[in-house]
């Protein structure tokens, strides 16, 4: 009997059991309080999802149980308790500074908590705290979740637009990714990367659908939040150029660059020195205080332990970027799935080679690889007497061949 993503119920239950095991290990070994709270809640949530997968005939039921247990419950507990990661405090402070001084960056930062390595757009998530004050609704984590789920829902709606029941299938398409630890953990603890990834997925979906200006605006919004979104630009443009034409790629590029520049440049010019120290030097580990991004990956190990290692790591990073760039020209991606795979490969290599990096960045390639592949099915089993699925109309597949060829990722 099949489960919610076309897998047998036993395998679906095993999947949630594996997620529960991951949550338990994290709860036991982490020293970060929000992560420990998430782990404790997620063990119960994923354990319940494993039971639901075996017993419920509804294909979305186990994912819904996992979302509630591993996403909604820990987020509500952490917001109510006030337990938070440093990133949340940094973002909320940046919103206050942006309103007060026009720059979200602390002048002359003296300690780790003073640094804000994010681009100016991230300060938008801190504006509710600056405007509303010390109320629950102003918590930046709620706005991270709102934007992330909103972008993912829009992406899912576009991917499922041609399905027989688009609204129902969109909800199912959103439930499954949101239930996985790669999304549920940052959703609950307030990880700043989730809205960036969600906007990147939306931009790729729009590009795959041949909607260049909207794709460019989504790309620009992501690029105004973190540097990690910028590698998406050449990948999305290559996808558009190969499927919708060079003019569409130019329009998307213009929209992306214009929106990102409008969001970043005025703030950068308000205090260029602070912008450079926070956003350029600190992420590279070259500011007055060392970056906490120090996971023992090749780039960090080279920079920390090999003479001239920083230059070697940067050189390897540039070389890998050139190789990926050449591949975009010689073999451009033709589908959103192929584009997401190419981007995930590039980001994975960059994560390994950056002089200052951390394991948490693995969420980017994980979500990109999984988002365009999850295809929930409509029912677990066919019952006697159910009408057969209608064959697709020949006119539907032949009247618009160009668009059909450019959007294979939108089929169920």
Pick from 111-125, 151-165, 356-370, 381-395: least confident: 381-395
Q: What is the end-to-end Cα distance of the chain in Å, rounded?
A: 19
Q: What is the mean pLDDT of residues 28-45?
A: 94
Q: What is the pLDDT of residues 266-290, one digit of tens each?
A: 999 989 999 999 998 888 767 767 6
Residue 83 is predicted with a pLDDT of 86
Pick from 146-155, 311-320, 394-403: least confident: 394-403
Residue 6 reports pLDDT greater than 80:
no
Pick from 21-35, 155-169, 292-306, 329-343: least confident: 155-169
Pick from 101-110, 174-183, 201-210, 280-289: least confident: 280-289
How far is it, in rounded angstroms, from Cα 403 to Cα 412?
16
Residue 262 reports pLDDT greater than 70:
yes
Residue 399 reports pLDDT greater than 60:
no
Q: What is the pLDDT of residues 41-85, one digit of tens each?
A: 999 999 999 999 888 877 788 889 999 999 999 999 999 988 888
Q: How far is CA 251 from CA 213, 296, 357, in A?
A: 6, 41, 33
Report which of residues 387 and 243 the model is more confident about.
Answer: 243
Q: What is the mean pLDDT of the chain?
A: 84
How far is it, in rounded angstroms, from Cα 363 to Cα 212?
26
Residue-wise over 67-80: b if at least 16 C-beta within 10 A, else e? bebbbbbbbebbbe
Residue 5 is predicted with a pLDDT of 55
pLDDT band with cut points at 50, 70 and 90 for residue 157: confident
Percentage of the chain modeled with pLDDT above 70: 84
How far is it, in rounded angstroms, from Cα 186 to Cα 361?
11
Residue 378 reports pLDDT greater than 50:
no
pLDDT band with cut points at 50, 70 and 90 for residue 170: low
Residue 383 reports pLDDT greater than 60:
no
Percentage of the chain modeled with pLDDT above 90: 57
Residue 129 is predicted with a pLDDT of 95
How far is it, in rounded angstroms, from Cα 25 to Cα 30?
8
Q: What is the pLDDT of residues 310-368, one digit of tens each?
A: 888 889 889 999 999 999 999 999 999 999 999 999 999 988 888 777 777 888 998 99
Residue 118 reports pLDDT greater than 90:
yes
pLDDT band with cut points at 50, 70 and 90 for residue 2: very low
Report which of residues 232 and 392 the model is more confident about.
Answer: 232
Closest alpha carbon to 203 in 155, 156, 159, 157: 155
Domains in the chain: boundaries = 1-83, 84-292
Q: What is the mean pLDDT of residues 179-191?
A: 89
Residue 56 is predicted with a pLDDT of 81
Report which of residues 385 and 346 the model is more confident about.
Answer: 346
Residue 293 reports pLDDT greater than 80:
no
Residue 395 is predicted with a pLDDT of 39
pTM above 0.85, yes or no: no
Q: What are phi and psi of 342, to 5 degrees?
A: -65, -40
Three-class secondary structure of residue 246 per DSSP: helix
């Amino acid at each position: 009997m099949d489960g919610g993503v076309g897998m047998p119920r036993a395998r679906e239950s095993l999947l949630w059991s594996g997620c529960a095991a991951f949550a338990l290990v994290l709860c036991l070994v982490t020293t970060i309080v929000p992560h420990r709270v998430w782990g404790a809640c997620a063990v119960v949530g994923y354990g319940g999802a494993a039971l639901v997968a075996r017993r419920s005939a509804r294909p979305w039921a186990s994912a819904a149980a996992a979302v509630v247990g591993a996403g909604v419950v820990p987020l509500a507990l952490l917001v109510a308790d006030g337990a938070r990661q440093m990133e949340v405090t940094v973002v909320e402070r940046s919103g206050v500074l942006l309103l007060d001084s026009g720059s979200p960056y602390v002048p002359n930062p003296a300690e780790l908590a003073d640094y804000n390595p994010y681009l100016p757009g991230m300060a938008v998530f801190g504006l509710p705290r600056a405007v509303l004050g010390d109320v629950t609704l102003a918590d930046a984590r709620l706005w991270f979740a709102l934007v992330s789920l909103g972008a993912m829902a829009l992406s899912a709606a576009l991917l499922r637009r041609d399905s027989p029941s688009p609204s129902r299938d969109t909800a199912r398409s959103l439930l499954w990714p949101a239930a996985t630890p790669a999304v549920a953990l940052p959703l609950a603890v307030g990880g700043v990367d989730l809205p960036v990834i969600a906007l990147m997925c939306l931009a790729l979906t729009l590009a795959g659908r041949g909607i260049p200006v909207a794709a460019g605006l989504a790309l620009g919004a992501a690029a105004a939040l973190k540097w990690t979104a910028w590698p998406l630009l050449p990948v999305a443009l290559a996808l558009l150029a190969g499927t919708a034409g060079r003019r569409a790629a130019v329009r998307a590029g213009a929209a992306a660059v214009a929106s990102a520049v409008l969001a970043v440049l005025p703030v950068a010019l308000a205090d260029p020195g602070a912008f450079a120290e926070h956003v350029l030097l600190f992420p590279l580990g070259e500011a007055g205080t060392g970056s906490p991004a120090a996971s023992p990956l090749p780039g960090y190990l080279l920079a920390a332990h090999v003479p001239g290692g920083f230059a070697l790591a940067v050189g390897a990073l540039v070389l890998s970027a050139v190789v990926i760039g050449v591949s975009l020209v010689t073999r451009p991606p033709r589908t959103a799935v192929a584009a997401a795979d190419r981007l995930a490969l590039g980001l994975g290599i960059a994560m390994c080679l950056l002089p200052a990096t951390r394991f948490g960045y693995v969420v980017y390639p994980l979500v990109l690889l999984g988002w365009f592949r999850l295809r929930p099915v409509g029912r677990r089993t066919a019952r006697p007497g159910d009408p057969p699925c209608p064959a697709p109309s020949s006119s539907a597949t032949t009247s618009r061949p160009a668009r059909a060829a450019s959007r294979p990722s939108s089929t169920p």
